[in-house]
Amino acid sequence: MNRQLDEDDLLLINALQIGPRLPWTAIGAVLDRHPTSLALRWEKLVAAGAAWITSHPVGDPEQMSLSFHDVQCDPAQRRSVVQALAALPDVFSIDECHRNRDMMLTVITPTPAWLAESVYPLFDRIPGLTRYETSFCTQLHHGADSWQLGALNAVQRKKLSQLAGNQTAYRGPLPPAYGEILQVLSRNGRASAADIAAETGLHPATARRQLQKVLGSGSLALRCEVAHGLAGFPIICQWFARLPAAEHSRTASALADSGTLRLCASTTGPTNFTFMMWLRSAADIMNTERSLGERFPALEITESVVVATVAKRVGWILNRNGTAAGNLTVPGEAWKHVAS
| CA trace torsion 127, 79, 312, 42 (10° rounding) | -150
Pick from 282, 220, 272: nearest CA to 251: 272
> What confidence tier does 83 reach under pLDDT thresholds 50, 70, 90?
very high
Q: What CA–CA distance (Å, rounded) separates 76 from 305?
A: 22
| Burial class of 282 by CB neighbour count within 10 A (0 to 12, 13 to 18, 19+) | exposed
Q: What is the mean pLDDT of residues 189-195?
A: 96
pLDDT of 101 reads 92
Q: What is the pLDDT of residue 162?
A: 94
Q: Is 198 exposed, middle or buried (0-12, 13-18, 19+ CB in 10 A)?
A: middle
Residue 312's pLDDT is: 97
DSSP-assigned states of every residue in 244-289: -GGGHHHHHHHHHTTS-EEEEEEESSS-SEEEEEEESSTHHHHHHH
**In this structure, how many other beta carbons lie within 10 angstroms of the beta carbon of residue 79?**
11
Digit-coded pLDDT (tens) for 272-283: 999 999 999 999
Where residue 340 falls among pLDDT bands split at 50, 70, 90? low
Residue 332 has pLDDT above 90, yes or no: no
Report whether pLDDT(222) > 90.
Answer: yes
Whether pLDDT at 334 is above 90: no
Mean of pLDDT over the chain: 93
- As a whole number of angstroms, the distance between CA 179 and CA 119 comes to 18
How much of the chain exceeds pLDDT 70, in percent? Answer: 96
pLDDT for 337:
66
Q: Are 208 and 262 in contact (CB under 8 A)?
A: no
Report pLDDT for 339: 60
Q: Rounded to whole angstroms, what are the CA distances from 258 to 12, 110, 129, 141, 236?
A: 22, 31, 36, 14, 15
Helix axes 154-164, 7-18, angle to 10 degrees: 40
Rg, the chain, Cα only: 20
Region 108-133: mean pLDDT is: 94
CA distance 226 to 12: 11
Residue 5 is given by DSSP the state P
Gap between the Cα atoms of 180 and 336, Å rounded: 7
Q: Which one-letter DSSP state was computed for residue 110?
A: S
pLDDT bucket at 232, cuts 50 / 70 / 90: very high
SS (H, E, C) 124-192: HCCCCEEEEEEEEEEEEEECHHHCCCCCCCHHHHHHHHHHHCCCCCCCCCCCCCHHHHHHHHHHCCCCC
Instruction: Give residue-wise pLDDT tens across range 300-329.
Output: 999 999 999 999 999 999 999 899 998 999
Q: pLDDT tens-digit profile of 40-67?
A: 999 999 999 999 999 988 765 566 789 9
Q: Quick one: pLDDT at residue 125? A: 97
H-run or E-run covering 193: helix 193-200
Side chain identity at 109, as an amino acid letter? Answer: T
Sign of the four-CA dihedral 120, 64, 325, 147: negative
